[in-house]
Amino acid sequence: MSIPIKGLALACAALVSFGAQAHTAAGEGDSGHAHLGDVCSPDVTHDHSAHDHAEHDQHDHAAHAHDAANAHANHAVRSFPDPASVPAPEGVTVSQCWIRALPNRLPAAGYFKLHNAGSADAVLVGAQARGFGRVMLHTHETRGELSVMTHVDTVRVPAGGGFEFAPGGHHVMLEQADFDLKPGTRHPVVLWFEGDRALQVGCDVRPPGAR
């Protein structure tokens, strides 16, 4: 049974305030549970039994406060050098970067397209964004009738090919914001590749319902 859109919207609104507190207390996302950002987006349908699982940027009630503490226990925030001091990956470009912002400094999601015109595969290993305490690579997996979020360590972009980060699939999770993202502005994101190579890209900030 699917959650009605109206009911889903009301649930999202009710969870916003609690999700912010739970997320701050945990300090981390939940790789075993989905997040509210995608559950509140128009392109994801959820089974009614999944009401304990929020998608992408926001989290469920007290259950999440407990689970989030263990979500990234084995995924420490990776450190990187100054991006201005390293070269870009050969042949790799980024296009159509945007961030779906949520209220109350809830976790946001970054989406974009990677293009590799180089002669070798490029491997994305992480990301950074000014003003966010934790930035990680995530994707969605279907487990039974549920869509859940999981952490990924790397994303390979084949030589002569590309890879898309899109709603309902891979995304950059932007957590622990120390400011309010404002739709209509742009925010910089740094994408890190194997070999200490980096790409800096400006991303359009869009409202919660964007897709």
83-206: CATH, from 3.90.1200.10, 1.10.10.60, 2.60.40.1890, 3.40.50.300: 2.60.40.1890
Over 50: is that where the pLDDT of 179 sits? yes
- How far the first Cα of the chain sits from its last, in Å, is 24
For residue 137, which of 90, 186, 77 has the smallest C-alpha distance?
Answer: 77
Which pLDDT does position 142 carry in this prediction?
86
List the chain domain ranges.
5-71, 83-206
Q: Is the pTM of this model over 0.85?
A: no
Is the distance from CB of 142 to CB of 67 less than 8 angstroms? Answer: no
* Arithmetic mean of pLDDT, 91-101: 98
Which pLDDT does position 76 carry in this prediction?
66
* Arithmetic mean of pLDDT, 30-51: 41
What is the Cα–Cα distance from 206 to 99, expressed in whole angstroms? 6
